[in-house]
Structure 1
Amino acid sequence: MRRFLALAVALVSLIAAGFLWTRDRPVAVATEAAPAAAPAESEAEDGALVAPVSDVTPADREARRFARYDKNRDAEVSRDEYLASRRKAFARLDTNGDGRLAFEEYAVATVKKFGKADRDGDGNLDADEFATTAAKRRAAPACQCSP
């Protein structure tokens, strides 16, 4: 029992020390532009952390999106190429395979998603639970190594 009490006191002390150490630190403001710094730098002159700046431009991002759709690499996206991703999503929802999506088939997927998000099972989503329903973006691969 004494060990548990000593551990609890030590834990509270560490939390309090961390709070006191960080309370006077400057907080980054989202409206300020990030200073132009080399990507390898993680701290500014004043010791504040600087977020890394992405070198991917909107034009590059759009070119990558176009390349994902252009399966045959002919520099044109055909109607079939454009609809391919939607066909896959439709096929996942069309559980009876009749080529028609009934409301019940659509609702099953939606109800499952709601059920996973409703962690406390009260039938309502609070802000934290609702945030889990947002579409997840896949992380880019860390390495583009050739085999």
Structure 2
Amino acid sequence: MIRGLLGGLAALMLVAAGIFWWQGRAETGFGGEAPALPVAEAPEAEPEDLPSADADGMMGVAPPEATTVGRETRRFNLVDKDRDNRISRTEMLSGRARDFRKLDKDGNNLLTFDEWAHTTVDKFKVADGNADLFLTREEFATTRPKERPKPKQKCACK
């Protein structure tokens, strides 16, 4: 019963769409070209016809004043996402939630220790060359931080 009603409704909609399409096609002609309409020429504007105003003694609206925004105001505005001049708990924690989603590798909203310590876990996997889940002294030596070059002194002291 429902299928019959839905089929009838679909058939009526297709007929209505066909009628609208046919009427639109009839207005533009069967060749798809719009009939030529007569175009009235616009009269040439003379310089004397331009509007003028007597602006003596008149003054426009003053431009808005630029305000200095302090550091705390900018910081507050970064957290207040809906601009209601109040910070909700959700707004305050939104940055932390973004960081949590980055750490939650499997997306189950549970942060395991391995996900939390992912950089150390990844470093251990890379250093454990023989995959025996233990690091020898040689393997551990590969985890040593790279030495940064010492900054050159800018002092011209002698």
User: TM tier, shorter chain?
Assistant: 0.3 to 0.5
Q: TM-score, normalised by structure 2?
A: 0.36
Greater RCO (CA < 8 Å, at least 6 residues apart): 1
Which has more radius of gyration? Answer: 2
Q: TM-score, normalised by structure 1?
A: 0.38
